[in-house]
Structure 1
Amino acid sequence: MDIARTRFRNPFRTPFVRALATAVLLAGLGTAQAAPSAQAEREIEQLIQALGSSSCQFERNGSWHDAKAAQAHLRKKLAYLRKRDLVDSADQFIERAASESSLSGQAYRVRCGGAPPVASAAWLKARLVQLRKPATTPSP
């Protein structure tokens, strides 16, 4: 047996190693994220509605759009993520769909009234904090 041949022998040529590598690969492919919880779905929808019902403008790739157009755009991005099981929380929605353009990488911004524009992620996270605050009942 030639020593040079044994040193550089492909370890995947043995049936055991091939079977083990295939099992590991298939196990990794079979793991998909769970669908978003009902609470996550509710929070995401409330965020999209909050933007759509605001009088704010939404900057995307250097152009300003009204709130309804922004709402429609974010719904399309959400549908894309849902189809691929890539969103299971409102935080992930903000991070993966509502923070920046997936084409240009430019950050989205929100401008409300005469206020200076802010990053859409900051605007949406602030709304999410408000949504998550426990409702307080007025004291008698």
Structure 2
Amino acid sequence: MKIFSLTFLLLINISVLNNAYAETPSSEIDHLIAYVARSNCDFIRNGSSHPSSEAVEHMQNKYKYFRKKIKTAEQFIEMSASKSTLSGKPYWIKCPDRKEVPSQAWLLEELSRYRQNK
């Protein structure tokens, strides 16, 4: 009975740890998407400017497509939010009163801030 109890507790702990790990990238990705949504910045994809609402929709669609391959927030940025899958060209961000920057750098900076404030 003691061995069963210890095994059961071990399995419960492993399950809890796996769930905690699985939720972390998802919560970080949710944060990044929300950050984009409220950014009031323009997103430049393949030379065309798009408002943040369109950028969010585009990122979410790419995230759905690549979801099985994405295990970290960094992979989300790389696969869904930093470059065109078709042309390979990087996405750019143009926020009011700021210099245009690559979306990858912009999102990685926010991810770093988010992790520091957790």
TM-score interval (norm. to shorter) = 0.7 to 0.9
1:70-105 CA-to-partner distances (Å, cap 9, x unmatched) read: 0000000000011xx110110111111111000111
Q: Is the 8 A contact 1:56 1:67 kept in 2?
A: yes
Choose the corresponding residue for 1:87, options 63, 67, 70: 70
1:37-48 to structure 2, matched below 5 A, reads 37-48=22-33
Code of the residue aligned with 2:50 in structure 1: it is: H
**Structure 1 residue aligned with 2:109:** 126
CA RMSD of aligned residues (A): 1.8
Specify the code of the residue in structure 2 equivalent to 1:89: T
Is there any run of 5+ residues in structure 2 with no aligned partner, and where?
Answer: 1-17
1:61 to 46, 50, 66: 46
Normalised TM-score (structure 1): 0.68
The answer as to whether partners of 1:37 and 1:89 remain within 8 angstroms in 2 is no
- Residues 122 and 104 of structure 1: CA distance in aligned 2, closer, same or farther (over 3 Å): same
Question: 1:114 Cα deviation (Å)?
Answer: 2.4
The within-5 A match list for 1:1-140 is 37-82=22-67, 85-135=68-118
What CA distance in whole angstroms lies between the structure 2 residues aligned with 1:88 and 1:46? 15
* Bigger CA radius of gyration: 1
Instruction: Report the number of matched residues.
Output: 100
Task: Structure 1: state its 5+ residue gaps.
Answer: 1-33, 136-140
